[in-house]
Amino acid sequence: MSQFRRRILLINRPFQVRFAIYVCSWLFVLSVIYPMLVSQLYDWFFKYISADPNGPMIPFLQKSRHDMLFWLALMQVCFMLMTFLMSLFMSHRIAGPLFKLSKTMNGLRNGSLAKVGFRKNDHFQELAEDYNFMVESVADQISASKTHLDRALAATKDEAARKEIEGAIKALSFFQQP
């Protein structure tokens, strides 16, 4: 095994547990309904076999079997569709914030010190807060650096040093707060 193997399974515990509960809740419902339907099928089977052991109920049992299989298949398709739709809804609340964060980070690369904002029910709210704290910290550092460079520029008489300081101020001006 690799030395850097991931040891923590639940990295974002609230999100991961909630997502697992949503997905597994449908599987739980399905696991309750299927045995009940199969049990009902066996009840019908024993009821009709015991009523007439010679077999005139065989066509009815075959029809009941086909009906039961149809309903089981239909329910499976319905549960799969509901699980799929629920997963889409959940993944939307995941993918949306990550897309916004990616877009904001691309803006940062282009000099924008804009903050990122997620919708109320989006996941990873703490990620937006951390990003915004980072942007504030960078903006504060840039402001402090500009202040120190402006003071150094005012105190410097050497032309070469002044050009270097002006270049540094210009480079820091690349970052703009909205």
CA-nearest of 106, 175, 169 to 136 is 175
Q: Report residue 56 as tokens.
A: 């005139």
100/21 same-domain check: yes
Residue 111's pLDDT is 92
Q: Are residues 159 and 145 in the same domain?
A: yes
Whether residues 16 and 58 fall in one domain: yes
Residue type, 40: Q
User: Alpha helix locations (H) across the chain?
Assistant: 13-51, 58-109, 125-155, 159-172
**81, 162: one domain:** no
Total count of residues recorded for the chain: 178
pLDDT reported for residue 58: 64
Residue 6 has what pLDDT? 47
Total count of domains within the chain: 2
First-residue to last-residue Cα distance in the chain: 47
Looking at 50, 80, 110, the residue that finishes a domain is 110
Cβ distance 132 to 116 under 8 Å?
yes
pLDDT by residue for the chain (178 residues), tens digit each? 455 554 666 666 787 778 778 877 877 787 778 778 877 877 777 776 766 666 666 667 667 777 877 887 788 778 878 888 787 777 778 888 888 898 999 999 999 999 999 988 888 899 999 999 999 999 999 999 999 999 999 999 999 999 999 999 999 999 887 7
Compute the half-sphere exposure of residue 86: CA atoms within 13 Å on the CB side of its CA: 16
Rounded distance between C-alpha atoms, residue 125 and residue 135, angstroms: 15
Last residue of a domain, one of 110, 128, 144: 110
Where in the sequence is the domain holding 147, given as residue range(s)? 111-178
pLDDT at 168: 92
The answer to whether the beta carbons of residues 113 and 178 sit under 8 Å apart is: yes
Angle at 60 between CA 37 and CA 74, to 5 degrees: 40
